[in-house]
Structure formats: C-alpha cells, structure tokens
Structure 1
Amino acid sequence: MIVRYFAAARAAAGFEEEKFHLPQGATVADLLEAVLAVDRPEPPAGTPPLSRLLSRSSFLLNEVAVRDQAAVLGPDDVVDVLPPFAGG
C-alpha cells in the first residue's frame, strides 16, 4: 500500500509518499502504526511531529474519506494523509 502525505504531514514525514508491505487483513490503524515505526529525522522548525499530525489528520482510502481505522486495506490501496489546515 502507498501512503501519500500532504502539507505539514509531508514535511514531518520527510517524503511525499511511502510504500508499505503489510500482511493481508491489515487495517488503516495497522498502517498508521507502521508509519510511526519508521525512523525519521526531526521535522523542520515549526512543523509538529508526525505522530501529532496523524492523531489530528483526516484520511482518504483510494480517494474516499475513511473514518473507521478498522477498515481493511488491500495491497494496492492508497491512503492519503490530510492534516488539519486553516484558511479558506
């Protein structure tokens, strides 16, 4: 599965996207746990740590909002991480 990061999440992750290989039956929660297990450099000044951003982010699964982190993922799924943002 692929995780794509946007805005502050991209800065905190240090990548625009990452690929993860999780066992069959893995959930969004499992994927987020794997994301947090990656050893990352400190984010740029003023950027919250990825763990804090993930706890406040919205997620899209194959471009559809997913609120249930127990949703099961397939090997070709794409999860987008959309951190909170201000403006309008």
Structure 2
Amino acid sequence: MREVRLFAAAADAAGVESIEVEADSVEGLREHLAMRFGPEFERILAQCSLLADGKKISSGPLTAGRVDILPPFAGG
C-alpha cells in the first residue's frame, strides 16, 4: 500500500486528505483515483502535479512510498 496525500481542490473533490492506494505506476494510481472519486476528481487530477520524494513524476513506475497530489496554485 502507498500513502497518497491530497491537497487543496484535489482533497476537496475527494473528500479526504490522505488515503492508502495499491498502485505500482503513475498511470495505475491515476486510474485507481479516478475510478474511486469520479469524473469531477478526474478533471482536477488531470491538472495536478504528482510528487514522489519531492520530485515531480508524470509516468512510469512508482518507487517512493508516498505520493503528493498538488493542484495548480494561484496567488498574488
């Protein structure tokens, strides 16, 4: 199992800030989350950055134990 932490709009859409997921790849993680939380979450997830060990990931195998999902930030 892998800890996935959700932030801001991703956490709001999922209704949780942290979950445990069984996934060995970025693609598998995205698919699992989209199925679990539905189309609105999937739309937000498509705009998010995924970080493993503080490094941005976009595809391929997951080697880190924890993944952070960060929506784009707006600020001023």
Please tell me the TM-score bracket, short chain as reference: 0.7 to 0.9
- Structure possessing the higher radius of gyration over alpha carbons: 1
* TM-score of the pair, normalised by structure 2: 0.84
* TM-score of the pair, normalised by structure 1: 0.74
Residue type at the aligned position of 1:59: L
Change (3 A) 1:7 1:39: closer
Query: Where is the strand percentage greater, Structure 1 or Structure 2?
Result: 2
Gaps of 5+ in 2: none
For residues 61 and 27 of structure 1, the distance between their equivalents in structure 2, rounded to whole angstroms, comes to 11
Q: Spell out structure 1 runs of 4+ moving beyond 6 A.
A: none
Instruction: Specify which of 26, 30, 33 is matched with residue 28 of structure 2.
Output: 30
Query: Where is the helix percentage greater, Structure 1 or Structure 2?
Result: 2
How high is the sequence identity, in percent, across the aligned residues?
Answer: 36
How many residues align? The count is 75
Gaps of 5+ in 1: 41-48
Aligned residues: CA RMSD: 1.9
